Structure 1
Amino acid sequence: MRSMYFSNTELFLISLIFLWVGFVRTGFGFGGVSLGLPLMLLIGSSPVYWLPIIGIHLLFFSSLTLFKSIKEVDWCYLKYSLLWIIPPTLFGLFWLLSLSDKVMIVFVYSITIFYSIIWIFNQKLTSYRVWVDKLLLILGGYVTGTSLIGAPLIVAVYIRYVAKKYLRNTLFVLWFILVSIKMSVFIAFGIKIDWQLSLSLIPIAAIGHVVGLKLHQRIIENDDLFRHWVGGILLLISLIGILKVVM
C-alpha cells in the first residue's frame, strides 16, 4: 500500500483506523464514519480527501452485506424517509464543496463532540413527536451531506419505525443511496479520489467487517458500555483536533 501523501508510520495508523471503521460498521450497525473520520483528520489532509475513500468502502461493504439479506429491508419506511433526507443531504454536500478545509474540520469535530457527550453520559437521541422525527431526518441528512457522520441523528428516528431485525440492513441501503449520490457529485465536480489508497485498504477494512459481523449481537447487548468508552475517547480526540486547527 503506497500513497504520495503519507509516511509509512502514517499508513500503518490509517490501516488501524480503517480496521476499526470496518468493525464498527457491522458490529454496531452504523457509525463507522462517525467514529473513524475524526481519527483520519488527526493523521492529516481534509474531509474532501477522506470522504471519497470512505464512500468507496461504504459502497463495497454495504453491497456485500445486502447481497444475502436484501429481502430484510423496510422499503416502505426507507422510501418515506428519503423524502426528508435527500434534499438536505444535497444542500450539505454543496456546502462541503464551498467551504474551506479548516471550517469543515472544525465542523466535523464539533459534531463529534456533541455525539461524545451524549455517549459519555449514556444518553440517547430519542424522538416522541412526528415533527421532531422530521427535524432529526433533515439534520441527519444535512450532516451526512457535509461529512457522512449524520448516522446517529437518522438512527434515532429509524429505531422508532423500523423493526429491529430489519434495522441494520435498511440503514445499509440508506447509506448506499446517500453515498452513491455523494460520490456522483464528487466525480461531477472533479474531486480527486485516491483510488490506490482506497482499494489497498479494502482487505484491511474487510477484517474489521468480518469481526464486526461475528460480534454484532454481543456489542448490541453491551451498547451503553460501548458508547460510554468510545464517547470518552472521541471527546479527547476531537478536542485535540480542534486545538490542532486553531493553534
Structure 2
Amino acid sequence: MWAGFVRTGLGFGGAALGLPLMLLIGASPVYWLPVVGIHLLFFSSLTLLKSIKKVDWVYLRQSLIWIIPPTLIGVFGLIALPDKVMIIFVYSITIFYAVIWVSNQKITSHQPWVDKILLVLGGYVAGTSLTGAPLIVAVYMRYVAKEYLRNTLFVLWFILVGIKMSTFVAFGVVIDWQLSLLLIPTATIGHLIGLKLHDKIIQNDRLFKRWVGAVLLLISSFGLLKIIL
C-alpha cells in the first residue's frame, strides 16, 4: 500500500521507499524486486492509458542512451552478488536519500556533465535495486516540464522494469506470481490515494520528504544493524 501511494503521490520512489520495509519482513532483494516490478508494470500501464500524450518522448530517448547500459550492468550484479551484500546496498542507499531529505537538501545538477553522471549512477542503482529514482529525477526535473514529468517517469520505469523482469525470466529467477497478484488489491488502495493527493504532495514536497526521510532513516538504520550484527 505504501509503495503504491508513493509511486503515484510523488511520481517515483515506490521501490526506493518500499523495499526497506519489505526487507524487514525477510527474504532478499531478488525475491521482492519482481513483486515490486509486476506492480509497477501494472499500475504504470493503467496510468499511461489515460495520459500517454503527456510524455516527453524526445528527452526520454536522449536520456535512455545514458541510463540503459548501466542498468543492465546493475541487473547482472543483482543476480550475481550475495543477498547480504545487496541488502546492505539497499539500506545504505536509502539512508543516503533519507539524510538528504531530513536535512532539506536536494540532489541537483547545473552542468550537462553532472547530468550524465547522475543518469549513469541512477541507471546502475535502478538496475541493482530499483532505488535509483531520486538520482534520475534530479536530472529529469531540469529538462521535462512539470506537467509531463510524472508520466515521462512512468514510461522510463516501465522500460527499466521490463528489462529487469526479462532478465529475471532469462536467468531462471523464481518469481512469486501468486503473492504479486494477491498484493495488487492492497497496492491499489495506496495507488488511488496517491493519485488524489499528488498535487498536494508536490506543493508540500519538502515537508513530505522530510517526514518520510526521518521514518526511512530509522527503518533502514535498524535493518542495516540487523543484517550486519
User: Does the alignment reach a TM-score above 0.5?
Assistant: yes
Aligned counterparts of 2:113 and 2:194: Cα–Cα separation in 1: 34
Say which of 121, 127, 134 aligns to 1:145.
Answer: 127
Deviation at 1:137, TM superposition (A): 0.1
- State yes or no: 1:33 paired with 2:15: yes
Aligned counterparts of 2:118 and 2:135: Cα–Cα separation in 1: 6
| Pairs aligned (count) | 229
The DSSP-based 3-state class of the residue aligned with 2:54 is coil
Deviation at 1:32, TM superposition (A): 1.0
Which whole-Å deviations, capped at 9, do the CAs of 1:121-141 have from their partners, x for residues lacking one? 111110000000000000000
Amino acid at match of 1:225: L
Say which of 119, 125, 140 aligns to 2:101.
Answer: 119
Correspondence for 2:200: 218
Unaligned runs of 5+ in 2: none
Correspondence for 1:66: 48
Amino acid at match of 1:185: T
TM superposition score normalised by structure 1: 0.92
Amino acid at match of 2:151: N
Amino acid at match of 2:32: W
Aligned counterparts of 1:49 and 1:32: Cα–Cα separation in 2: 16
What is the root-mean-square deviation in Å for CA atoms of aligned residues?
0.5
Which whole-Å deviations, capped at 9, do the CAs of 1:188-242 have from their partners, x for residues lacking one? 0000000000000001101110111011001111111111111111111111111
Aligned counterparts of 2:211 and 2:192: Cα–Cα separation in 1: 22
Aligned counterparts of 2:14 and 2:189: Cα–Cα separation in 1: 14
TM superposition score normalised by structure 2: 0.99
Correspondence for 2:160: 178
Correspondence for 2:111: 129
The DSSP-based 3-state class of the residue aligned with 1:30 is coil
- State yes or no: 1:164 paired with 2:142: no
Deviation at 1:246, TM superposition (A): 1.1
1:8-19 to structure 2, matched below 5 A, reads 19=1
Give 4+ residue runs of structure 1 displaced > 3 Å after superposition: none
Identity %: 74
The DSSP-based 3-state class of the residue aligned with 1:127 is coil
The DSSP-based 3-state class of the residue aligned with 1:115 is helix
Correspondence for 2:88: 106
Deviation at 1:22, TM superposition (A): 0.6
Unaligned runs of 5+ in 1: 1-18
Correspondence for 1:11: none
Deviation at 1:108, TM superposition (A): 0.3
Aligned counterparts of 1:41 and 1:208: Cα–Cα separation in 2: 19
Amino acid at match of 2:74: G
